[in-house]
Amino acid sequence: MTHRQAVAVMLAVTLMWSIAGVVTRHLEQARAFELTFWRSAFNALTLVALLAAWRGPVALWASLRRGGAAMWTSGVCWCVMFTAFMVALTLTDVANVLVTLALGPLFTALASRFVLGHALPTRTWVAIGVAGAGIAWMYGQAFALGDSRHLLGTAVALGVPVAAAVNWTLLQHLKSLRQSGKVDGPGEDMLPAVLLGALLSAAVTLPLAWPLGASAHDLRLLALLGSVQLAVPCLLAVMAARVLPAPEIALLALLEVIFGVAWAWLGAGEQPSAAVIGGGVLVLGALALNEAWALREQAGAR
């Protein structure tokens, strides 16, 4: 895959990721935990089919079996991300959720600093401060309106970037251990952890979703979310990550927020509030400048 092809793949990935909000708004009966269960279940089924076809069922099972604590930790993180995201969408606006999710790269940077001891450049500290102000703006508006539902939804959505930060920090730690020769084998392939996370999410939410009441219309939309919106783009993103540097991937991934808000506005009439737009501009602007600066530094170092 060339660099241009990898960029095109990431654009397709963000488009697929971004349909979750608008599709959710067109469901008839499935709500909260049932919505999460079906999406995770269809995600798991799609991943089993794709990974088994890609590597063979024996190799897939072997990678899951020997993954160890690292695989399970990553799987739990994916479970939290899958579950919190969909529950948050049922509690607050799509724009609130997506802007909150955009904090992932900054949370990851903080985790790398305090867990792995990686030094952060001044630009990243500035970006963290500006993005924090943007989220505070969004929260402040919800507090002023006394809207507990939106506050709860945003708080649940925060679980996604927190879990993502733990997950990416773990993967970064495993990578550094492999490069130093201190570990090999099981930590090398963590892609099956995505499947493990989908299975855990489905198992955790099934008792909370019972009795199931989704209509045939809902099941078709949830199958679309589990396969096209989640499983396929996750695998494509992993392929693109082999070509694109991390800052460029993080920068391209921000398009999900823009696409997602636009879909919800055009396809479900969900217009973001002034506070969400203002806070979102601060968050996305801080992230975009930070990642663009990182790319410029990498180009200058070559």
Residue 290 in tokens: 């930070």
First to last CA, the chain: 21
Residue 186 has a pLDDT of: 45
Residue 280 has a pLDDT of: 76
Residue 274 in tokens: 């002034």
Please state the domain count of the chain: 1
Q: Where are the alpha helices (H) located in 18-121, listed in sequence order?
A: 20-24, 32-55, 57-65, 68-89, 94-101, 104-115
Q: Which residue has the tokens 């507090």?
A: 143
H or E stretch including 13? helix 3-17
Residue 187 has a pLDDT of: 44
Residue 186, preceding peptide bond in cis (omega within 30° of 0): no
Nearest alpha-carbon partner for 137 in 298, 285, 288: 285
DSSP 262-292: HHHHHHH--PPPHHHHHHHHHHHHHHHHHHH
Domain containing residue 279? 3-301
Q: Whole-angstrom Cα distance, residue 281 to residue 275?
A: 10
Residue 147 amino acid letter: D
Q: Where are the alpha helices (H) located in 180-253, listed in sequence order?
A: 192-209, 216-224, 232-241, 246-253
Residue 142 has a pLDDT of: 63
Residue 46 has a pLDDT of: 93
Q: Whole-angstrom Cα distance, residue 236 to residue 17?
A: 11
DSSP assigned state of 227: I
Q: Whole-angstrom Cα distance, residue 80 to residue 164?
A: 9
Report the chain (302 residues): mean pLDDT per 10 consecutive residues: 84 91 85 88 91 81 78 90 90 84 80 77 79 75 67 87 85 72 56 88 92 89 93 84 72 81 85 78 79 73 62
Q: Which residue has the tokens 């899951």?
A: 64
Residue 15 has a pLDDT of: 92
Q: Whole-angstrom Cα distance, residue 21 to residue 213?
A: 20
Residue 276 has a pLDDT of: 74
Q: Whole-angstrom Cα distance, residue 279 to residue 228?
A: 29
Residue 39 has a pLDDT of: 92
Residue 121 in tokens: 């450049």
Contacts of 80 (CB under 8 A, 6+ apart): 159, 160, 162, 163
